[in-house]
Structure formats: C-alpha cells, structure tokens
Amino acid sequence: MKLTTFASAIALAAGLALPAAAQQTVTWWDFFAGGDGVRMKALINQFNEEHPDIQIQGTTLEWGVPFYTKIRTSAAVGQGPDLMTYHLSRMPLALSEGVLTPITPEDLETAGLSEGDFFETALQAAKGPDGTLYAVPFDIHSIVLYYNKSYLEGTRFLDAEGNLTGIESVADFEEAMQAAAENGSETPVTYATGDDGGVYRVFYTLLSQQGGILISEDGEVLPGDSTEKAVKAIEIMTKWHNEGWQPEQALYEASVALFTSGKSAFQLNGVWEVPTMKDLHESGKLGFEWGAVEVPKLMDTQTTWADSHAWAIPIQGQTEMDPEKRDAVMQVIGWMEKNAIQWADAGHIPAYRPVAESDEFKQMQPNATYSSLADDATYDPRSEVAGVASPSYDAAQNIISPAIHGYMTPEEAVEQVKSELQSRMR
C-alpha cells in the first residue's frame, strides 16, 4: 500500500475529513478567430463545465508570425502556456528552436489515446526525424474546391443529383471555367491571388500533383525535374489570369466575397470557410446552391496541400511541468480529441480516426464528401523555411504572385524562389 493511501485509510478510520483535491488550472493559448474561434470557445466552456477539477484558462493570440514569436520567447523564460495549438507544418522550426516537449506513450495513455487512433499522414507530421512524438494532431485541413451550381447547370459538370462531376484534368477544369464564364460568371475561379496563403496552397497543390518536391530531405530547393514542374504550375496559374478566370491581386477577404456574392463559379480555399457558407445559406443570404469537394486530380496524382492543427506542450524555461499539471493537460487533450465532432462543424476533418470514421461524421456535409483527402494529403516540406508564416509563404506572395500577374516569367519566378529559399537555409 502506498504511503498516501495508508494515510488516507487512517484518516477515514478516525473519522477525519480529507482535504479536497486541488483544482488544476491549465493555461491555454490558441490562434483561432472567426468561426474557428467561436467553436473552440464553446469546447472550452463545455470542458470547464464538465470538469470542476480542471479548468482551462484560454487566451487567443494573433495568428501567424506574432503567435509563434511569442511562443518562442515566452517558452524560453518559462512564461508560456501549459498547452497550445500548433501547426504541424511548423514542426521542423519548433524542433530547431527546442520549444516543444515530447509526448510520451504514458502521456497518451493518460489522455486515453494511442498513436493508432490517428491518420498516418497527420501522425508522421507530428513527429521528429527520430520518430519522437511532439504534438497530438487535432484535425486535417486543406483547400477544397467550392462550386456554385447555378453556373454549371446545363453543362456536363453537374450530375443528375446536382453534384460536381467530370473534372479529371486541368483541361477539364478550364473547360468548366469557360462554361461558367459563358453562363455569366464574372470570375470563374477565385482564390487569394494577392496573398501568401492563397497563392502558396494552389501552387503547392499543382506542384505536388505532378510529383514535384519543393524542398528535399537534404535541403535542396526544387531538386531535379521539380524545377520544370514548378514552372508548369505557375504557367497554369498565369493562364487562369490571362484568360480573366481568376481575380486580379485579390486579398483574402475579397477572394471569399467574390464567391459568396455569386460572382465566381468556383473557389479554391480552405475547409475553414465551410461555416461561412453554411451560415449564409441558413440565413437566406446566399443566393445559390453550393457544394465542396476534394480538389480534383488536375495533374498526375490525387493529392492536395494540407496542414493540421495540433496540441503541443511547450518547454517551461529551465524547469519541468509538475506531473499533476501534465496529467491535467493530457486529460484536456484527450477530451478535445473525443469531442472533435464539434470542431468538424468548422469544416475540418478530425485527425482522431474514431470520430472521423463515426456515423455522425459520415453524415456531416460537405465534410464527408471531401474527407478522402485525409489519406491523399501532402504536407509542407520538413524544412525550417516551410510551413505557415514561413519564407516559403513569403516567396509565394513576393515572387509567385507577381509572376502569375505577368510581372515576370514563370522561369524567372522559379529561379528567384530557388535562390530565396536556398539562401534562408541554416
């Protein structure tokens, strides 16, 4: 019998009251705004209501560079959170900075989880080169192809049930855009052509569908024939601009507005805009029927850019987290994973397979329609210059975006991307 158990038995036998277990407060940082933020706050509130012994104290910080800069500086001096959200595309940089603590098998057991519970693509992105787990994947999010059915009526691109069909190549997609233009669509396909994320995700998807590699495992940018494949990707995006099919240097909000206002037949954007579409439809403010599917196989391979939000535990300066606090943190993670169906309502695919494979998720639309991308996803290169708010994203905005608008040739853009990213390698 453990000493504490023995002491408790003595106390109970003597009729003495035992002190109440101390409440654990889990300091939490995330970067979720908009619909994501609303849903995450609801999850936090529900957890706190159900767990009087563990209370999440949540703070939402600015997405991107500001968030990760604050993590790096605060963790180093032991002033960071107990638990934080993290993009798995940032994992290589996190490991080089040494800001994350490993997630052990014992940690997962405390959370009621195991590695086999997660999609392999997301799980591998959460590990270091030696196989050590440093985060717990929460979702898989990717760009998808949204479509406005009204512009496709009478074409071969809608089946009898009104679902998108017949797009199996770039030529098919371009035919669909031309048909939509003839049916009155002002801007047949919209994405953020003037922003880093919109340009990068479309470029990276077209590159990856050709089997191209942005950065190799040994740090070479666009190795071998990937240079030619990158040129091809930019040529395609440039053609869409020259034909007047995509918007001129559109920032993110403007690119979304083109679709929601009914001016674009297609939108290449993240699953995170699904709540926007649902809310507008339910409120009667959307003047058309819409759908969303996995980005079709436009090139040689069925794959799409993807990333994951994940849970991570930062270092605590020079000290280690109290074991009871760490157990509380892992209980939070486990609960969030098992209640991820509510997060899926934000358009995401749960990385936790028991939820993603549940009947409830299979009935969730349009999520279930594009859920196949969980197995087809291509994550960002395992490089310190790739991932969210990285030099790769900067290159998309500063080099690729000008190229697709005609300010330099695709070949010139690719050479600049190679030079820029290679120069940023440590």
**Model confidence over 161-202: pLDDT tens digits?**
999 999 999 999 999 999 999 999 999 999 999 999 999 999
Cβ contacts of 194 within 8 Å, gap of 6 or more = 249, 250, 251, 397, 401
Residue 219 belongs to what domain range?
142-306+374-423
> For 35-50, b where at least 16 C-beta lie within 10 A, e where not — what string?
bbeebbeebbeebeee
The confidence score (pLDDT) of residue 5 equals 39
| Other CB atoms within 10 Å distance of the CB of residue 145 | 21
Question: 324 and 379 in one domain?
Answer: no
The confidence score (pLDDT) of residue 370 equals 96
pLDDT band of residue 14 (cuts 50, 70, 90) is very low
Question: 385 and 245 in one domain?
Answer: yes
| Other CB atoms within 10 Å distance of the CB of residue 70 | 17
Question: 85 and 37 in one domain?
Answer: yes
Question: 235 and 178 in one domain?
Answer: yes
Q: Pull the structure tokens for residue 387.
A: 């991932």
User: pLDDT tens digits, residue range 68-125?
Assistant: 999 999 988 989 999 999 999 999 989 999 999 999 999 999 999 999 999 999 999 9
User: pLDDT tens digits, residue range 21-55?
Assistant: 568 999 999 999 888 899 999 999 999 999 999 99
Average pLDDT of the residues of the chain: 93
**CA–CA gap between residue 332 and residue 294 (Å, rounded):** 31
Residue 287 lies in a domain: yes
Question: 312 and 358 in one domain?
Answer: yes
Question: 323 and 299 in one domain?
Answer: no
Residue 5 lies in a domain: no
Question: 380 and 286 in one domain?
Answer: yes
Closest CA to 255 of 244, 266, 265, 247: 247
The confidence score (pLDDT) of residue 21 equals 53
Residue 162 lies in a domain: yes
Sign of CA dihedral 237, 241, 244, 249: positive
Kindly report the length of the chain: 426
CATH number at 417 reads 3.40.190.10
Question: 382 and 326 in one domain?
Answer: no
Question: 245 and 104 in one domain?
Answer: no
What stretches of 29-141 show up as alpha helix (H) in DSSP?
Answer: 34-50, 65-76, 91-97, 105-111, 120-125
User: pLDDT tens digits, residue range 348-403?
Assistant: 999 999 999 999 999 999 999 999 999 999 999 999 999 998 999 999 999 999 99
Question: 210 and 103 in one domain?
Answer: no
In the chain, the number of structural domains is 2
The confidence score (pLDDT) of residue 64 equals 86
Question: 258 and 400 in one domain?
Answer: yes
The confidence score (pLDDT) of residue 213 equals 98
Type of residue found at 210: Q
Residue 402 lies in a domain: yes
410 close to 235: Cβ distance less than 8 angstroms: yes
Residue 315 has pLDDT above 80, yes or no: yes
